[in-house]
Amino acid sequence: MSSMTGKPDQRFFSLIFDTIPQGIFTIDDQGLITSFNRSAEAITGYSEDEVRGRPCYEVFQADLCAASCPLKRSITTREANEARQATVVIKSGRRLPISIFTSALVNEAGDVIGGVEMFRDVSTEVELKKKLYESYQFEDIVTKSPAMRDLLEMLPLVSQSQSTVLIYGESGTGKELVARAIHNYGPRRNRPFIAINSAAVPDTLMESELFGYKKGAFTDAKKDKPGRFARAEKGTLFLDEVSELSPSIQAKLLRVLEEKEYEPLGGTQSLKADVRIIAATNRELDHEVRNHRFRQDLFFRLNVVNLRLPPLRERREDVPLLIEHFIKRFNAIQGRRIQRCSERVMATLLAYPFPGNVRELENAIEHAFVVCVGEIIQLDDLPAHIVQAVMEGAAPIAALKREGIQPLQSAEAEVIKNVLAQHHGNRGRAAQELGVSRSTLWRKMVKYGIEQ
C-alpha cells in the first residue's frame, strides 16, 4: 500500500498478475483480449503478443462459447461465475479441460469496461476421475461399494457362460441393469434382450405373453402371435419378479429349461427355444419353496448362478457418485447445464434411507431437474417427502450405526474434496459453504487425509 495515498502501489500489479499460478486474461467491452498472464501462456502455449487484440472465443475455441459464454454473462449481469468446467483448444491443437472463474471489470465510475477470466488446467483431475469411473463402472452400474465391486468383477465371467442366472435384490436396486450388462458382454450381445415383469402381467395372460398363441386359440386370436420366448430367440429373456409366476406357468417354464422347447397357446407342435434365461426376484426363493409357493425343481434350475444386489442404504458411499451420474445423464437428455447439488441437498440424500433404492434416487434427481431454476440443485428442489422424512428423523440413525460409519465417512470426505476443488483449495470459502468453521474443516481434512 502507498503510505501517502492509502491506495495499492501500481508497480506491484504486473508482478502479482504474472506470479499467480492460475491463467488470467482480460477482455475489453468488445470481447478482445487486453492482457494475458504468464500462467495463461504456459497453459495454452500462446504468448501474450499472439492473443492480444483477438476475440477470446477465437483463441480458446471453448465448448461453452457457442452455447453460453460465462464471461459474457458476467459482463452482462455483473455477477461472478464460479467453478465452471470447459474444454478449450490450446496452441498444439490438443483439447484441454479447464476450470474457470469469470467476473466483470468495473471502473471507479461504476461502468463495466470488460471482463476477467481466471482458469486452471484440470486435465489431471479429469483423468483421475475417468480412471476412477472406469474402475468402478460396468455399463450404467456406478459404484465404489466393496460389495458391488465384488459383484461387478464376476459379471464378465458370468456373461461368457450360458448358465441361467438368478438375481436377488429389492425393488429399484438395478436388477435389470445387471441383466442387460450380462447380456451385452456375452456371446448373445447381437441378439435380442427381451424383458418381462411377471408381477405386472395377469396370470390369464402370462402364458400367451411368454409362449405366444396360434390363430383360433381363443375368440380374438385372429392370427398367430409370437411370445417373449420367440422374440428372444438366440438372445436373452429377463424374467423380473419370477416369484410371482403361477404354479402352472412355473411348470411350463421348467419344461423350457429342461427340454429347450415349448408350445404356443392353441398349438399342437413344440417349438425349440435357444434362449438364455436371467431371472430376478425381491423375495428369498428358498423361503418360497419351503412355504410351497415356488417349485423346488424350478428353483434349482434357476439358481445356477446367484447374484445379490445390496440395497442403497447398505452402499451409501455410492450416493454422491450416483447423483453426479444422474446429473450428467439428465443434462444430456434435457439440454440443461446443472452443475451439482448443494451440500444441504447432499447431506439430506445421504441421510435418507431410500426404500425405493437407486430408482428412487434417480427419480428424485429427475424431479429436481424439473423444478430447479438455477445451476445448483437446492433443498426446495427435492421431492417434499424426502426432505420431510429426514427433517422428521425418519432416516434410520440406529440402522446407520449398525451398518458402520465408514460409508458415511467416505461420503463426507468426498463432499469435502469436491467443495475444496470448487473453491480452488480456499478453506475459508469451503468452510462457509459447508456450514462449518475453518478449524472444523481442518480437523476433518486431517482425519480423512485430504491435502490441499
Q: Is residue 1 part of a domain?
A: no
- 34-90 pLDDT tens trace: 999 999 999 999 999 999 999 888 888 886 665 578 888 888 888 887 667 788 888
Q: Is residue 161 part of a domain?
A: yes
Of 95, 121, 147, the residue at which a domain comes to its end is: 121
More confident residue, 452 or 295: 295
Residues 51 and 26 in one domain: yes
pLDDT band at 3 (very low <50, low <70, confident <90, very high): very low
Q: Would you state the pLDDT for residue 398?
A: 44
Q: Is residue 153 part of a domain?
A: yes
Residues 226 and 323 in one domain: no
Residues 84 and 140 in one domain: no
Q: Would you state the pLDDT for residue 127?
A: 65
- 342-394 pLDDT tens trace: 888 988 898 898 999 999 999 999 999 999 988 999 999 999 999 888 887 64
Q: Inform me whether the pLDDT recorded for 301 exceeds 90.
A: yes
272 Cβ contact partners less than 8 Å away, ≥ 6 residues apart? 260, 261
- 392-428 pLDDT tens trace: 764 444 444 444 434 445 556 767 777 787 777 888 8
Residues 333 and 262 in one domain: no
Lowest mean pLDDT among 168-172, 276-280, 314-318, 379-383: 314-318
Q: Would you state the pLDDT for residue 396?
A: 44
Q: Is residue 127 part of a domain?
A: no
Q: Would you state the pLDDT for residue 83?
A: 60
Angle, alpha carbons 417-419-423 (nearest 5°): 115
Q: Is residue 2 part of a domain?
A: no
Range of the domain at 211: 132-310
Q: Is residue 17 part of a domain?
A: yes
Give the residue from 262, 265, 263 showing the smallest Cα distance to 220. Answer: 265
Q: Is residue 71 part of a domain?
A: yes
- 307-318 pLDDT tens trace: 999 999 888 888
pLDDT band at 12 (very low <50, low <70, confident <90, very high): low
pLDDT band at 276 (very low <50, low <70, confident <90, very high): very high
Q: Is residue 431 part of a domain?
A: yes
Q: Would you state the pLDDT for residue 417?
A: 77
Q: Are 46 and 53 in contact (CB under 8 A)?
A: no
Of 121, 154, 178, the residue at which a domain comes to its end is: 121
Residues 160 and 303 in one domain: yes
Q: Are 71 and 115 in contact (CB under 8 A)?
A: yes
Q: Inform me whether the pLDDT recorded for 132 exceeds 80.
A: no
Residues 318 and 291 in one domain: no
Q: What is the chain's alpha carbon radius of gyration, rounded to the nearest angstrom?
A: 29
Residues 187 and 300 in one domain: yes
Is pTM beyond 0.85 here? Answer: no
Residues 143 and 155 in one domain: yes
